[in-house]
Amino acid sequence: MIFVLLILLTILVYYFDTRNYSYWAKRNVRHDPPVFLFGNNFKGFFGRQSSTEIANDLYNRFPNEKVVGYYRGSTPELYIRDPDIVKDILTNDFAYFYPRGLGRNPKVEPLHASLFHADGDLWKLTRQRLTPAFTTARLKAMFPLVVRCAERLQGVALATAARPDACDARELMARFTTDFIGACGFGVDTDSLGNEDSHFRKIGRLMFYRPLPVIIKHMIWQLFPPIRSYIHVFNKELTEVFFTFIKNVREVRQCKPSGRHDFIDLLLELEGKGKIVGESIEHQNPDGTPVTVDMEMNLKMMVAQAFVFFAAGFETSSSATSYTLHQLAFNPELQLKIQLEIDEVLRKYDNKLCYDAVAEMTLLSMAFKEAMRMFPSLGVLNRVCARPYRFPKLGLTVDPGVKIVIPLEALQNDEKYFENPREFQLERFRPEKVKKRRKYVYLPFGDGPRACIGSRLGNMQSLAGLAAVLQVCSVAPASTTQRVPRVDSRSNTVQAIRGGLPLQLTVRGQ
């Protein structure tokens, strides 16, 4: 009996996981030879190589190729090395590549109905309605909350600088962004800066924690498509926490906007407007016109959007700001120039942070952009081919379901596009140099219709947090600081640093 089961399992594995292994060879696309069951992704499946590390490796080992093939299990993936092809995928031919392919079944994992994970019409209608949340007027209305959180951050930074031990800049900025997202997103005081073990900070840590059981479940989910409907990869505790929280906030506000102008108010406004109606991106009428589709902003959808607002808002910003501080710690001359600029700008505004003051901090903005170039929070961009597509520059045709990976970090650190890419140089982002730079080689927020919807909000809160710290403190390497931090190979969508980013904070002038 056991022998028969083993034979059946072998047949099942062979059928579902090796039938595509000639896909790239038939199309004359360079790739490494796949191995049984795992394809090329053995290290990735077991958390020994992150998605970004895989992309960087392929990009650097095939310098003469415009595209490189890869197998994640049995699924063929195409890594794009050419910026012109990147442009086609993200913008010119977006209709062929609108899915991101990172979501799982929202009926099984409800949080994957979020704007980030959703694809097709669910994504299009959600994006259509959420875009008004990030207008300039709304951002300016949020800024007093940013200032309040920044003032708390200054207090914590000064208290930390008074102690001799090193500070984990990654954790410090994560606590700041958690407080900001709590205030601007949900109208609550998370007190993460006052209490590093606050409830919301614990939730933030839980979101991106990938223990071995989760890694294994995700591997099984990717390897065996027929059983995906039965596997719940995501943390069920996290799902329950967000459902309970949003349900309670919704009941307290009696399903109506409270006047706080936060993200929950926006979702309640959308719920009150009834069904969201728009043109389908997936389906067409016989005459070629888009089918009209609709959806409701119900509790399930609200919870999913609130989840991704929290996750994306705190994780990406805290990663980018802490890495900026890390680079400034090793470039004290640039740090001093930025601090003097902060002083000069704030003198014009009674030494108080405000929306207009942050907008004038040119050097600080350049430093932030350069840090995101060197170490983008998302090291790759993902898309999936939605319908048969022929790459005009390659004569290559790919089928629906083929995954597309844009190796963002590798492009942004290629010496063809950025001279001495491992050097931290603010001058790269002078307007005249940006104009001369090749397009589609710097994409920390993506590009095209699926570019990050909250990029301006993230930029605003990040610069405010950096200005708050650098106004009162200087940063320097600690005894345990590594010049090139080690990436956590278990990190998946968002890059993580192993062991944090220890830095020494000192009060300015001391």
Summarize the chain as % helix, strand, coil (round to 5).
50, 10, 35
Q: What amino acid occupies position 208?
A: F
Residue 18 above 70 pLDDT?
no
Residues in Cβ contact with 88 at an 8 Å cutoff, skipping those fewer than 6 apart: 391, 392, 393
Residue 16 above 60 pLDDT?
no
Mapped onto helix, strand or coil, the DSSP state of residue 127 is helix
pLDDT > 70 fraction of the chain, expressed in percent and rounded: 94
Mapped onto helix, strand or coil, the DSSP state of residue 285 is coil
Confidence of residue 12 (pLDDT cuts 50, 70, 90): low
Other beta carbons within 10 angstroms of residue 245's beta carbon come to 20
Separation CA 73–CA 334 (nearest Å):
46
* Interhelix angle 136-161/169-186, nearest 10 degrees: 140
The whole-number pLDDT of residue 6 equals 47
What's the alpha-carbon Rg for the chain, to the nearest Å? Answer: 23
How many helices (H) and strands (E) would you count in the chain? Answer: 19, 11
Mapped onto helix, strand or coil, the DSSP state of residue 192 is coil
Tell me the average pLDDT of the chain. 88
Confidence of residue 348 (pLDDT cuts 50, 70, 90): very high
The whole-number pLDDT of residue 4 equals 46
CATH architecture, domain defined by 2-107+142-214+311-507:
Orthogonal Bundle (1.10)
The whole-number pLDDT of residue 10 equals 53
**Two structure tokens written together for 345:** 């700008």
pLDDT digits (tens, 9 = 90+) for 410-419: 999 999 999 9
> DSSP characters for 400-439?
TT-EEEE-HHHHHT-TTTSSSTTS--GGGGSHHHHHHSPT
Confidence of residue 169 (pLDDT cuts 50, 70, 90): very high
Residue pointed to by tokens 């192993």: 498
- Is 452 annotated to bind a ligand? Reply is yes
Q: Are 429 and 366 within 8 A, CB to CB?
A: yes
Separation CA 225–CA 164 (nearest Å):
53
Confidence of residue 329 (pLDDT cuts 50, 70, 90): very high
Residue pointed to by tokens 């959308």: 270
Residue pointed to by tokens 């939605």: 386
9-18, 262-271, 468-477: segment of lowest average pLDDT = 9-18
Other beta carbons within 10 angstroms of residue 38's beta carbon come to 20
* Interhelix angle 332-347/455-472, nearest 10 degrees: 100
- Largest separation between any pair of C-alpha atoms in the chain: 82
The whole-number pLDDT of residue 376 equals 95
Could you state, in order of their start, the residue ranges of all structural domains in the chain?
A: 2-107+142-214+311-507
Residue 364 above 90 pLDDT?
yes
Q: If DSSP states are collapsed to H, E and C, what string results for 64-81?
A: CCCEEEEEECCEEEEEEC
Residue 68 above 90 pLDDT?
yes
Separation CA 173–CA 317 (nearest Å):
8
Q: Are 216 and 254 within 8 A, CB to CB?
A: no
20-34, 296-310, 326-340, 440-454: segment of lowest average pLDDT = 296-310
